[in-house]
Structure 1
């Protein structure tokens, strides 16, 4: 899953070139977004069902981020061993979070590690960026 999303990551990082905080419009506040990419294969076979992922959201994500989150269906592909194309279904979780602090970073790390352990994954990719938010 990690290799599948490298182009997305590179495009996302292009917006990080500026070190200035975003200039938000009236009524918006500077925050951050984090997108977590959860592959659903176990090994090279489909494995994490929608029901298992929803249980993970209920047990791991929601307690750490009760303010809310968005879950999207996704998919990716990359070249695996022996130059073989590997495709994988994925779930993408989008979080709007306060400016990143150590507490938030710790919670994001716990979520990623819990998924890796529960579903025998290599990693969970995360992309974070500055955002202007209004509710």
Structure 2
């Protein structure tokens, strides 16, 4: 239950957080921080290749050990242009949202997770975004 509440609090903070560059200060109870969002496509080739069970195993083996204090995973749908033939490819995706409590330590961990996903599921790319945010729990 605690993890669910942390996930809900984090989601609420992200949705209602700072827009654009971080202001000089955050609101009451919030502190400046960094948030990483990592987008994982689930297709392998032209079909769904990363099942829910595959994803759960990946989170258990690669993500949770690097961020045991908490994280949020969202279901999403994404699209991208195939540079080989120019077609638009649509696929189901997962979005990992995690607060980076120590940027120097945590940024490499995010990169390790993206690299592990690309290797394990034969992916060309994993989108990673890092942005400033006002964070509270």
| TM-score (norm: length of structure 2) | 0.79
Structure 2 residue aligned with 1:11: none
Trace 1:1-135 onto structure 2 (pairs within 5 A).
15-16=20-21, 22-80=24-82, 81-101=84-104, 103-135=105-137
CA positional deviation for 1:77: 1.4
| TM-score (norm: length of structure 1) | 0.80
Contact 2:100 2:107 in 1 (8 A): no
Contact 2:44 2:123 in 1 (8 A): yes
3-state SS of 2:119 partner: helix
- The runs of at least 4 aligned residues of structure 1 exceeding 4 Å deviation read none
Report the RMSD for the aligned CA atoms in angstroms. 1.8
Shift of the 54–22 alpha-carbon distance from structure 1 to 2, 3 Å rule, reads: farther
3-state SS of 1:82 partner: coil
Q: Report the number of matched residues.
A: 118
CA positional deviation for 1:83: 3.2
CA positional deviation for 1:99: 4.9
Consecutive unaligned residues of structure 2, counting only runs of 5 or more, are 1-18
